[in-house]
């Protein structure tokens, strides 16, 4: 009987010992609760896809700067045709894509992905369309804002491409001077995997003179771009993607020279907002007398004529508001048939920036407009020609609170430009202006500088039962 009693109590004791042992091991392996968990880790981009919306008869530049890790490839596909396969970083591919080609999808992997940049530029000279039309080819995303003239002032075509392998559901919202505008056809579209589609914005909202167009995916991702052909032959260009809504927006790349400069500001929430406007030129920053503040009704677009206020000087605009806004600017060239160009709110080029299509020499010139709104900016600029060796980088210092114009050197043929912030630099914003002298007027296009697709932020891995349990 004694042995039975001992066995009855010894088994639970062994179980308790085992549990305490396991608890001790788990406690020893648990991270110290006082240690702050690590933040997101910065890792090189391993794959990038971009879409050029209508590359037919346009010159397209594709480049990956040197500096990626490992080998990789870049593939250029339009429809069912492969235009090129690239494997050499630091070398600019630049060709004219055949007329009538469908959207150009560029996919880069491995060492060819980090910093990939693609852009297209076309000179329009016929059919009532006249001028330079350029755009940075964009990656599929969940949300895109485009700010510019509305269908009452221009023939605006929205280009949508679903480059993914699953269907995408897209919602298109048009904000106008009178508020949100809804067309008879509605604004929800479904794109099959790999499908591209063009939509006349007039079919969604025929009345706006100015607009902020929001393309949002309910599911999936799409690449969105919009092309505006101004009425009465007043030029043609693409609307650049605007920075997401924020209470502080910087609009860089306002070209100098004559012509109209008109600011467009949209309030995207259900509240009116007052927007303070500050102009930054090479002489410093100032508010426009009598136009220091713009009142923007809820979910509407307000305009402000800056033609006299900017005074023909290269500039950037700093907008500050109580509620989130998006912004863009319309610029027209000089001459009887001056062209139109658009710039928009942008982000600082903290990780560097690349412009893949530039031209100089003859009747064309390209220049950078760099702005340091807060503190001194310092960047390195390098020219990478299609032919010949890369040029030596040169340093550009931008005084605090000012805009500096940098004329790019004459190069035989197209070239790319790589900008990198230098140690100690404050935030720098910028735009690339390309200009050509045509008979009867000035042709121009503006590309706001975007952050290079070099790094991605990956959230940290933490010990949690949520990893394996719902």
Q: What is the mean pLDDT of residues 57-68?
A: 94
Owning domain of residue 317? 42-456
**Residue listed under structure tokens 């048009």:** 174
pLDDT at 39: 64
Q: Is residue 63 part of a domain?
A: yes
Best CA proximity match to 239, nearest among 157, 181, 308:
157
Phi, psi dihedral angles at 239 (to 5 degrees)? -85, 120
Q: What is the mean pLDDT of residues 50-66?
A: 96
In this prediction, residue 455 has a pLDDT band, given cuts at 50, 70 and 90, of: confident
Q: Is residue 7 part of a domain?
A: no
Q: Is residue 464 part of a domain?
A: no
Query: What pLDDT, in 10s, does the model give residues 155-184?
Result: 999 999 999 999 999 999 999 998 898 765
Separation between Cα atoms, residue 321 and residue 74, nearest integer Å = 42
In this prediction, residue 185 has a pLDDT band, given cuts at 50, 70 and 90, of: low
Q: Is residue 442 part of a domain?
A: yes
465 pLDDT exceeds 70? no
Separation between Cα atoms, residue 185 and residue 166, nearest integer Å = 24
409 pLDDT exceeds 90? yes
In this prediction, residue 10 has a pLDDT band, given cuts at 50, 70 and 90, of: low
Q: What is the mean pLDDT of residues 246-269?
A: 95
**Total of domains in the chain:** 1
Separation between Cα atoms, residue 158 and residue 465, nearest integer Å = 45
Q: Is residue 14 part of a domain?
A: no
Share of the chain above pLDDT 90, in %: 74
Contact 146, 241 (CB under 8 A): yes
Q: Is residue 198 part of a domain?
A: yes
Query: What pLDDT, in 10s, does the model give residues 375-398?
Result: 999 999 999 999 999 999 999 999
Q: Is residue 70 part of a domain?
A: yes
- Global pTM reads 0.88
Query: What pLDDT, in 10s, does the model give residues 95-108?
Result: 999 999 999 999 99
Contact 265, 296 (CB under 8 A): yes
Separation between Cα atoms, residue 308 and residue 318, nearest integer Å = 17
13 pLDDT exceeds 80? no
Number of alpha helices (DSSP H) and beta strands (DSSP E) in the chain: 3, 36
Q: Mean pLDDT for the chain? A: 89
Q: Is residue 25 part of a domain?
A: no
């Amino acid at each position: 009987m004694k042995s039975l009693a001992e066995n009855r109590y010894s088994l639970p004791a062994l179980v308790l010992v085992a549990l305490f042992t396991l608890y001790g091991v788990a406690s020893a392996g648990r991270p110290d609760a006082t240690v702050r968990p690590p933040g997101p880790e910065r890792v090189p981009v391993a794959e990038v896809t971009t879409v050029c919306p209508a590359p037919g008869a346009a010159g397209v530049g594709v480049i990956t700067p040197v500096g990626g890790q490992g080998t990789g490839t870049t593939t250029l596909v339009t429809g069912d045709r492969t235009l090129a396969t690239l494997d050499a970083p630091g070398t600019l591919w630049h060709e004219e894509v055949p007329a009538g080609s469908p959207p150009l999808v560029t996919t880069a992997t491995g060492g060819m992905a980090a910093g990939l940049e693609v852009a297209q530029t076309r000179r329009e000279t016929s059919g009532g369309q006249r001028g330079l039309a350029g755009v940075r080819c964009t990656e599929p995303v969940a949300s895109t804002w485009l700010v510019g003239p509305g269908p009452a002032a221009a023939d605006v075509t929205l280009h949508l491409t679903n480059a993914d392998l699953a269907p995408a559901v897209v919602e298109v919202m048009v904000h106008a001077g009178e508020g949100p505008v809804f067309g008879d056809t509605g604004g929800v579209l479904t794109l099959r995997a790999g499908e591209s589609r063009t939509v006349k914005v007039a079919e969604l909202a025929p009345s706006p003179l100015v607009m902020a167009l929001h393309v949002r995916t309910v599911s999936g991702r799409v690449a969105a771009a919009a092309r505006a052909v101004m009425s009465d032959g007043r030029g043609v260009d693409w609307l650049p993607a605007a920075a997401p809504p924020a209470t502080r927006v910087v609009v860089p790349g306002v070209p100098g020279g004559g012509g109209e400069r008109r600011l467009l500001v949209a309030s995207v929430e259900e509240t009116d907002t007052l927007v303070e406007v500050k102009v930054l030129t090479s002489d410093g920053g100032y508010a426009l007398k009598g136009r220091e503040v713009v009142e923007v009704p809820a979910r509407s677009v307000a305009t402000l004529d800056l033609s006299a206020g900017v005074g023909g000087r290269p500039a950037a605009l700093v907008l500050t508001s109580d509620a989130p806004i998006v912004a863009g600017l319309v610029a027209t060239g000089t001459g009887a048939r001056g062209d139109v160009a658009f710039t928009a709110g942008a982000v600082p080029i903290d990780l560097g920036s690349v412009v893949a299509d530039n031209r100089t020499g003859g009747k064309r010139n390209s220049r950078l407009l760099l702005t340091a709104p807060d503190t001194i900016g310092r960047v390195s600029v390098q020219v990478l020609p299609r032919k010949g060796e890369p040029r030596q980088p040169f340093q550009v210092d931008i005084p605090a609170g000012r805009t500096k114009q940098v004329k790019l050197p004459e190069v035989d043929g197209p070239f790319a430009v790589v900008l990198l912030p230098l140690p100690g630099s404050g935030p720098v914003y910028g735009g690339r202006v390309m200009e050509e002298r045509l008979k009867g007027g000035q042709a121009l296009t503006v590309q706001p500088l975007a952050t290079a697709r070099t790094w991605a932020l990956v959230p940290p891995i933490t010990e949690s039962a949520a990893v394996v349990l719902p």
